[in-house]
Amino acid sequence: MGPMQGYTVLELAGIGPAPMAGMMLADMGATVIRVERPSNNQSSVSEPVSGRGKKSLVLNLKTEQGLKTLLSLIERADVLIDPFRPGVCEKLGIGPELCLTLNPRLVFARMTGWGQTGPLSQAAGHDINFIAITGALHATGRKGEKPVAPLNLVGDMGGGGMLLANGILAALLERERSQQGQVVDAAMVDGAAQLMWMFHGFAAQDGWDATQRESNILDGGAHFYDTYECADGKYVAVGAVETQFYKLLVEATGLDESALGNRDDPANWPAMKQVFTDLFITKTQQQWCAILEGSDACFAPVLNFIEAPEHPANIERKTYINIEGVVQPAPAPRFSRTPSVVAHGTHQLGQDNNAVLQEFGFSKQAIAKLNEAGILG
């Protein structure tokens, strides 16, 4: 039913952002076929969340017949997701020049950390390295302390998986006009840089100190945009940036705004933060929720991701789903007419070998020969 129904995506097995993009496309109705490596443990599965809704095809691409089989699938696919370092697909014999010759309408989507070109393109790296050269890592953490890795959300997922999915959708949209495919070069360093756009704007208006962590309005420097410990050791998050919301926060907590001083003067923030610290420690997280949650005070409890699915707002929105015993985020965004649906949980390696090949026109005899030759896992 999803908006991507009718599109076929081949996803070369990888980890992190590339499978995330494939998961999003599968959620939106695309037929996503994860092309996986042979394994000695065929009862195993891919990563249990990002593999949802995808079909699993195991191919030995180190063999000539395995490569020919993949190329025959590429001829009929809409998208190929390449999660490897630059040049790996070319060495395998499935580079974009060949693939686009076989299938001129193909969107060849490449996901790397440093990009397809440049002095770092062949270097190994992970999320923390990619966000380090964009300013995102430097900006995250407390003043006087070392930068804090924001999980692998900024580089891998926001700057990688989201960017790749966006690029694929844009290329497919453009293909409707031109009838031609193209290569999408999605790099996590580029995506992380994109995510920093607002702070470049602030700095251009002398509204951000890029040299110091916890010195600005959105990095924990301001007392009205920070987290505070409660009496039970749990935390709450306050984000009352606008003055009208700040006024509501102060009133609801029983503070005297006139005694706090000018809230917009950074020189006053440390003293004000101490007032808020002393205030929030007097009640438990749940007690503060009873007072503030649901108001315009811009307040929320800080939950871990195991607690998050049990929050009433997430339950009402069905923000999380349970697929075959695995609690996980529901598909997003939401569509009014063509809703996204998770078809099934992650399949075992090679579970869809026969079905996929038959859908692509392989006869039962041809599939049997591939099995006999050890091409299929």
Band of the pLDDT at 334, cuts 50, 70, 90?
very high
- Give pLDDT, residue 286: 98
Burial code (b: 16+ CB inside 10 Å, e: under 16) for 189-202 equals: bbbbbebbeebeeb
Choosing from 126, 138, 209, 296, which is the catalytic residue? 126
Q: What is the pLDDT of residue 41?
A: 61
Residue 347 designated active-site:
no
pLDDT, tens digit (0-9, with 9 covering 90-100), for 189-231: 999 999 999 999 999 999 999 999 999 999 999 999 999 999 9
Q: How would CATH label the architecture of 8-195+319-372?
A: 3-Layer(aba) Sandwich (3.40)
In 3-state terms, what secondary structure has residue 255? coil
| Mean of all residue pLDDT scores within the chain | 96
Average pLDDT over residues 176-186: 98
Predicted confidence at residue 84, as pLDDT, reads: 97
Above 70 in pLDDT, residue 40?
no
What confidence score (pLDDT) does residue 60 get?
94
Nearest partner of 199 among 139, 143, 257, 266, judged by Cα: 139
Task: Assign 42 a pLDDT band (cuts: 50, 70, 90).
Answer: low
For the segment 91-117, what is each residue's pLDDT rounded down to a tens digit? 999 999 999 999 999 999 999 999 999
Which pLDDT does position 124 carry in this prediction?
Answer: 96
Quote the pLDDT of residue 23: 98
Q: How confident is the model at residue 44 (pLDDT cuts 50, 70, 90)?
A: low
Catalytic residue among 27, 78, 127, 156: 156
Return the domain boundaries, the chain: 8-195+319-372, 225-310
CATH number of the domain at 225-310, please?
3.30.1540.10
**Strand, helix or coil at 210?**
coil
Q: Which ranges constitute the DSSP H helices of the chain?
A: 17-27, 64-74, 88-92, 96-102, 127-132, 162-178, 188-195, 197-204, 243-253, 257-260, 269-280, 285-292, 312-317, 353-359, 364-372
Confirm whether 126 is a catalytic residue: yes
Q: Side chain identity at 285, as an amino acid letter? A: Q
**Confidence class for position 47, pLDDT limits 50, 70, 90:** confident
Long-range contact pairs involving 368-374 (C-beta distance under 8 Å, separation at least 24): 370/65, 370/69, 373/63, 373/65, 374/38, 374/60, 374/63
| Cα 221 to Cα 240: distance, rounded to the nearest angstrom | 13
- pLDDT of the residue at 2: 92
Q: If pLDDT is split at 50, 70 and 90, which confidence band does 43 have?
A: low
Global pTM reads 0.95
